[in-house]
Structure 1
């Protein structure tokens, strides 16, 4: 699967793209990004679309904040995954999305970074099956 993310560096965008098939390698990469402490949105997908402006089916996760993350399944029937046991932040938080600081509303950030990492790893292990929180918390 392809993993892409971009940081806003003020005078330029720091673009990253890697192809990964090993779940352990993906987990190591995501943990490194989380530890860096720079909130960023990562997109993980297998198929590309003909339309470059349309996100291909996949999963997008927000990592880099010490206590909050997000995960959204990118599909016609997709949506944000929230953990009712995770604390919702008092306000929205910014994550770099494509090198653009983007605010995500608090209600979409009801996920711990560890859970977002596990959702992404499971997404890769299953070959892109729709992510479910029960897969991670069982």
Structure 2
């Protein structure tokens, strides 16, 4: 999955990236502006990629959308006590605690690993009951 990626967030925002460092830089800018869900897909292929929730100081959400994907979570991390709202396509959307059992740092690591190898990193589990 390495190469060129397209990022989508908010009502109509897009960016291009050619490396995971570029993706991190775009995600940093988005997170600084608020809590957003960002789709990251290979340029020209919107059917496989990741969705990441950024902008919350302690939690994130990651959805890998391919045949073997699912929501990423850290089994040792307890559920957040309440839903977390992210802007998804210009609409405030609540994500339940079961979907935010990943730290921002591990969420970033997960998407970097997936986008370059096609697999989630070993300590991260995927809940395929989406």
Which bin holds the TM-score, normalised by the shorter protein?
Answer: 0.7 to 0.9
Deviation at 1:37, TM superposition (A): 5.5
For 2:41 and 2:77, the matched residues in 1 are separated by 26
Q: Kindly name which structure, 1 or 2, has the bigger radius of gyration based on alpha carbons.
A: 1
For 1:106 and 1:37, the matched residues in 2 are separated by 22
Q: Is the 8 A contact 1:90 1:106 kept in 2?
A: yes
**Equivalent position of 1:10 in the other structure:** none
User: 2:66 matched to 1:75?
Assistant: yes
**Equivalent position of 2:6 in the other structure:** 2
Report how many aligned residue pairs link the two structures: 120
Per-residue deviation, residues 21-79 of structure 1 (Å, max 9, x unmatched): 11211122222323x15111011111656xxxxx6211111011111101111123321
Deviation at 1:106, TM superposition (A): 0.6
> Which residues of structure 1 form unaligned runs of 5+?
7-12, 50-54
Q: Residues 2-21 of structure 1 correspond to what in structure 2 (within 5 A)?
A: 2-6=6-10, 13=11, 15-21=12-18
**Equivalent position of 1:46 in the other structure:** 42
Q: 2:30 aligns with which of 28, 33, 38?
A: 33
For 1:123 and 1:107, the matched residues in 2 are separated by 21
**Equivalent position of 2:81 in the other structure:** 90
> Which residues of structure 2 form unaligned runs of 5+?
125-130
**Normalising by structure 1, what TM-score?**
0.76
**Equivalent position of 1:9 in the other structure:** none
Deviation at 1:92, TM superposition (A): 1.0
Deviation at 1:96, TM superposition (A): 0.9
More strand by percentage: 2
Deviation at 1:81, TM superposition (A): 0.8
Deviation at 1:113, TM superposition (A): 0.7
For 1:99 and 1:120, the matched residues in 2 are separated by 22
Q: Is the 8 A contact 1:37 1:65 kept in 2?
A: no
The two structures, once aligned, show a CA RMSD in angstroms of 2.0
